[in-house]
Amino acid sequence: MKSTAVVTGASSGLGAEFARQLAAKGFDLIIAARRRERLECLARELEQKHGVAVQVFAVDLTKPDVLEELARLIQSRSDVEILVNNAGYGAGGRYDQADTERQMGMIALHVTAAARLTRAALPQMVARGRGAVINMASVVAFAHLPGSTLYCTTKKWLVDFSRSIADELAGTGVHIQALCPGFTRTEAMEGKKLPEFLWLTCEEVVAASLRAAERGSGVCVPSFTYKLLVFILRSPLGGLLSWARMARKRRKARM
Ligand SMILES: NC(=O)c1ccc[n+]([C@@H]2O[C@H](COP(=O)([O-])OP(=O)(O)OC[C@H]3O[C@@H](n4cnc5c(N)ncnc54)[C@H](OP(=O)(O)O)[C@@H]3O)[C@@H](O)[C@H]2O)c1
């Protein structure tokens, strides 16, 4: 029997790349996002190139009723082997002033949608004794960045959520990954100016994630540069840097 992979946020960037690499491995797909034309175009490309079946689910996953519809579709099938909870975005601004709808949207996507779809997919994976859930977090899960409070904390939640389920499911053959990329070239990052060495490509991030998911559960941080950064952020030095930044801010506020 063919296996199916579900990818949310597949209309562009990292999600579209997950769909491409999974189709190349022979998975049928269910791809979800709001932009129907993008999804249909990708579905045609993958069906022609790899001979896989692709079902398009063009919806806003922040809406509880459509989220439930996708969850029930996943639950109704017995062939979902990979779920990639990738849909998401970063909306910034000081929290007392930030756009409420955009902020709540991050909770709806990064927390509620990921939690609901994972719950829908796991029972069949556990019953089969294999499968993987990849939750798209970020390296910012290991930092706290003023101006990106909910982005950082919802990504941190995804890391904790993934680790906790991974512990619960140890020995079942089902792997849970928190994927934590650094800056990756996607539409969402257009116009951002950064030193070249900080940029990752969608191809390398997705390939690293799928390789790691085959090996087992865990936190996947693609590239040596970002592994080093995460190591520093999680060490006492990370705490010290954060304390120094806050102290500088308080000093400035007093002046
Ligand atoms: N690029 C980076 O540097 C980077 C680093 C770390 C983590 N990430 C994470 O990677 C994920 C993908 O980001 P990306 O960089 O690939 O950006 P992107 O190209 O903008 O992709 C975001 C995807 O999420 C979908 N999406 C957004 N809101 C949605 C909604 N309400 N309902 C359904 N789908 C929705 C978008 O589709 P529609 O607009 O068609 O709905 C799109 O397919 C995000 O979770 C992001 O936080 C990115």
**Residue 118: CATH number of its domain:** 3.40.50.720
**pTM of the predicted model, to two decimals?**
0.95
Same structural domain, 239 and 132? no
pLDDT of residue 220: 98
Q: Quick one: 180 and 242 in the same domain?
A: no
Mutate to test the pocket of ligand 1, among 135, 186, 203 (most ligand atoms within 8 A of CB): 186
Atom 41 of ligand 1, nearest CA residue: 34
Mutate to test the pocket of ligand 1, among 86, 135, 151 (most ligand atoms within 8 A of CB): 86
231 and 217 within one domain: no
Amino acid at 6: V
What spacing in Å lies between the alpha carbon of 203 and ligand 1's midpoint? 15
- Residue ranges making up the domain that contains 253: 227-255
> CA-to-CA distance for 64 and 17, rounded, in angstroms?
26
User: pLDDT tens across 176-208, in order?
Assistant: 999 999 999 999 999 999 999 999 999 999 999
Ligand 1 pocket residues where CB is under 6 Å? 9-15, 33-35, 38, 60-62, 86-90, 109, 136, 138, 181, 183-184, 186-189
Are 120 and 167 in a shared domain?
yes
> What integer pLDDT is reported at residue 243 of this predicted model?
78
Query: Same structural domain for residues 235 and 153?
Result: no
Q: What are phi and psi of 56, to 5 degrees?
A: -95, 135
Q: Which of 14, 150, 192, 209 to mutate for ligand 1's pocket (most ligand atoms within 8 Å of CB)?
A: 14
Q: What is the mean pLDDT of residues 220-225?
A: 97
**Pair 192, 70 in one domain:** yes
Contacts 24+ apart (CB under 8 A), 88-96: 88/9, 88/136, 89/188, 90/148, 90/151, 90/188, 91/150, 91/151, 92/147, 92/148, 92/151, 93/147, 94/146, 94/147, 95/149, 95/150
* 184 and 231, same domain (yes or no): no
Q: Tell me, what's the pLDDT at 242?
A: 75
Average pLDDT over residues 20-26: 98
Same-domain check for residues 206 and 87:
yes
**Are residues 215 and 238 located together in one domain of the fold?**
no
Predicted confidence (pLDDT) per residue in 101-144, tens digit: 999 999 999 999 999 999 999 999 999 999 999 999 999 999 98
Catalytic site positions: 151
CA 157: distance to chain centroid? 12
For ligand 1, atom 7: residue with the closest CA? 138
* Total number of domains constituting the chain: 2
134 and 233 belong to one structural domain: no
The arithmetic mean of pLDDT across residues 225-249, rounded, is 85
- 77: confidence class by pLDDT, cuts 50, 70, 90: very high
Whether residues 184 and 237 share a domain: the answer is no
What confidence category does residue 247 fall into, taking pLDDT thresholds of 50, 70 and 90?
confident
The percent of residues in the chain predicted with pLDDT above 70, rounded, is 100
Q: Across the chain, what does the average pLDDT equal?
A: 95
Please tell me the distance between residue 194's alpha carbon and the centre of ligand 1 in angstroms: 20
Q: What pLDDT does residue 52 have? A: 98
